[in-house]
Amino acid sequence: MLASRLSGGTTACRGEAFGEDGCRPANGGRGGPPYVENWILKKDLRKMIPPEIIEEVITQIDPDELITLTADLVRINSVWDPAAGTSEQVVAEKIAAWAKSQGFEVQIDQVAPGRPNIIVSGPQGPQDRTLMFEGHTDVVTPGDVSVWQYDPFGAKIVGRRMYGRGTNDTKGNLAAMLIAMKALKNAAIKVSGSVIGGVLCDEEDQMLGVRDFIKKGHADKVTAAVICEPQDGMICTSQKGAIRAGYLITGRMSHGAMPLSGLNCAPAIARLVDGLHRLEQEAAATAGSDPHLGWPSFTPTVIQAPAAGAPQLNVMPREARVLVDIRTIPRQSHQKVITDLKSLAKDVADKVRQHYRQYDDQLDLKRSHDLAVQADILTDRPCTRTDPTEPIVKAADWATRSITAEAPVYAGVPGATDGTFLWSKKNIPIVTMGAGDREVPHQIDEWVDLDQLVETSKVYALTALHYLYRPSD
């Protein structure tokens, strides 16, 4: 059963045409995508795909095999941690060996030492559509394992849940997509195109895997992609953009007992944090809330002083660093956001220097006021939005209805995924969907519902069938 809960105050619409507020407009849907009319077409198309073919694909999916493959992947620690000697290498090799044993063509691209991409080539047809399933092999650190109830790399099953790092994000969905590809292959259905599986590294950090996938030309023939991430069974046709910025504040170091002999960075930090909150308020006022993505945000995530080296209570550091995670919605201009971030740095530096001049006049103190604030843009990833009339969206809609007997819930992804690059660099229509409560990733005792995981594999398989099916000659 599909879940309808959304985090972040966003709005979901179950299979209906939606207008500017994200839900069905009063004019019966004419202001938004024609879901109602399209559903009639979908029912006609379903008649074109014989029930025995649908059944043949679905029956190829073995729930026990899916659960076993998920557990095998979860038990491999694939945190990128060179100091600890862990990476995506072992889990990628496991997937490559499994895919070869199932008769798939497999290509291994070494993106960086210990960080391979695996490209799995599935069923191929005579025409030019190519559907990509994408899932990543890296997982985030479990942190302090002593606070976990279950071994983060144990794949423990309790009831109908599997616990462990990556069960939810996203080794469960990675296994589901591989089993779906196997089902389509073994059903030997005639299709009008090809299926490939992109099993990519480094999604959780710099997204080196998808960038290398694009650089090497693997995305050139891809006409649509399913991004296999935990979205609680919802169909996500949009993603927030992401801008990461870093501020470096430079003052003068001094003894904590003699701060007037230096220049403290702390007032600049305080003004930066306050200024970022004001930028968030302005963005909320001007851009509003997106019906599927919610509100824009400007979040200081790291405040570090000194910027490098160990902090000491009796030392006023020379440098401080503030890192900011900005999440945008389509109504915002990234160029304006970047301009505002850089303007904030100049404004803070000017006001803090003015503050020190006034304070030093009060104290009759002479010292240099050479405090500096530098802003650097670390990453700039755009918002994505796939037109709901795209064939891949229709395929996902039909597949979800066919498996769940319910209208799908439409939503947006609160973060960026590898799909961000496929959409922005190659103009590939994407949908993001998969099993798992989307508030669970990166948490202690991460888990996935096994029944929803099996359901997801079936939805993946029928999405590919709908997108690529051609009637027999």
> Would you list the DSSP string of 274-314?
HHHHHHHHHHHHHH--BTTTB--EEEEEEEESSSSS---TT
**What are residue 86's DSSP bridge partners?**
81
pLDDT given for residue 44 in this prediction:
42
Q: How confident is the model at residue 126 (pLDDT cuts 50, 70, 90)?
A: confident
Q: At what angle do helices 450-468 and 171-187 cross, to 10 degrees?
A: 50
**CA–CA separation, 235 and 396 (whole Å):** 7
Query: What's the pTM?
Result: 0.84
**CA–CA separation, 118 and 412 (whole Å):** 27
- Report residue 234 as tokens: 């919802």
pLDDT given for residue 47 in this prediction:
41
Question: Are 239 and 419 spatial neighbours (Cβ–Cβ below 8 Å)?
Answer: yes
Q: How far apart are the first and last CA of the chain?
A: 36
- Averaged pLDDT, 451-467: 98
Q: Are strands 129-136 and 224-228 parallel, antiparallel or unpaired?
A: parallel
Q: In this model, does residue 42 exceed pLDDT 90?
A: no
Angstrom distances, CA of residue 334 to CA of 136, 244, 294, 435: 27, 11, 17, 31
Place of tokens 């006022």: 285
Cβ-count burial of 435 within 10 angstroms (0-12 exposed, 13-18 middle, 19+ buried)? buried
**CA–CA separation, 213 and 197 (whole Å):** 11
Q: What is the mean pLDDT of the chain?
A: 91
**What are residue 129's DSSP bridge partners?**
193
Question: Is 52 strand, coil or helix?
Answer: helix
Instruction: Show Cβ contacts of residue 146 under 8 Å, excluding neighbours closer than 6 positions.
Output: none
Q: How confident is the model at residue 124 (pLDDT cuts 50, 70, 90)?
A: confident
Q: Are strands 241-250 and 372-381 parallel, antiparallel or unpaired?
A: antiparallel
Phi, psi for residue 237 in degrees, rounded to 5: -110, 5
Judge if the upstream peptide bond of residue 400 is cis by omega within 30 degrees of 0. Answer: no
- Report residue 401 as tokens: 């209805």
One-letter amino acid at 279 equals L
pLDDT given for residue 127 in this prediction:
77
**CA–CA separation, 75 and 471 (whole Å):** 42
Find the angle CA(69)-CA(72)-CA(73) to the nearest 5 degrees: 90
Q: With pLDDT > 70 as the criterion, what percentage of the chain qualifies?
A: 90
- Report pLDDT digits (tens) over 258-297: 999 999 999 999 999 999 999 999 999 999 999 999 999 9
- Report pLDDT digits (tens) over 340-386: 999 999 999 999 999 999 999 999 999 999 999 999 999 999 999 99
Phi-psi region of 141 (alpha: psi -120 to 50; beta: other; left: phi over 0): beta
- Report residue 116 as tokens: 């391979």
Q: How confident is the model at residue 458 (pLDDT cuts 50, 70, 90)?
A: very high
